[in-house]
Homo-oligomer: A and B are copies of this chain.
């Protein structure tokens, strides 16, 4: 088992200037997969087991192609660690605390 925190941004190409319908479909795919997610202004944070996260990302490509997009270009950041468990909330908290105090 390998836990991953990822950040996923999918860009459909060849369907016009608006891509929010396709990105929304991906949100539903990720939610249906039971993954912990957080949508932000340039992607979606995803936390879960490696195989679950990557299966859902594959499903996003399949669904967006099925919606009519001939081409997709996605980007992903993804991190794993073996020293200790970590959650998305904790990553944000550990930065926020230090940013506030200037330490």
Q: How distant is the Cα of A58 from the Cα of B6 in the complex, in angstroms?
A: 13
Question: Size class of A's contact patch?
Answer: 35 or more
B-contacting residues, A38-60, CB 8 Å: 38-43, 45, 47, 50, 54, 58
Q: Is A11 an interface residue, CB under 8 A from the partner?
A: yes
A interface list, Cβ under 8 A from B: 2, 5-7, 9, 11, 13-14, 16-17, 19-21, 23-25, 27-28, 31, 38-43, 45, 47, 50, 54, 58, 61-62, 65, 70-83, 88-89, 91-92, 94-99, 102-103
Q: State the oligomeric state as a number of copies.
A: 4
Having A24-B99, A28-B99, A41-B92, one finds 9 other A-B pairs with CB under 8 Å, namely: A7-B43, A14-B17, A17-B70, A24-B96, A24-B98, A27-B96, A65-B82, A72-B80, A73-B79
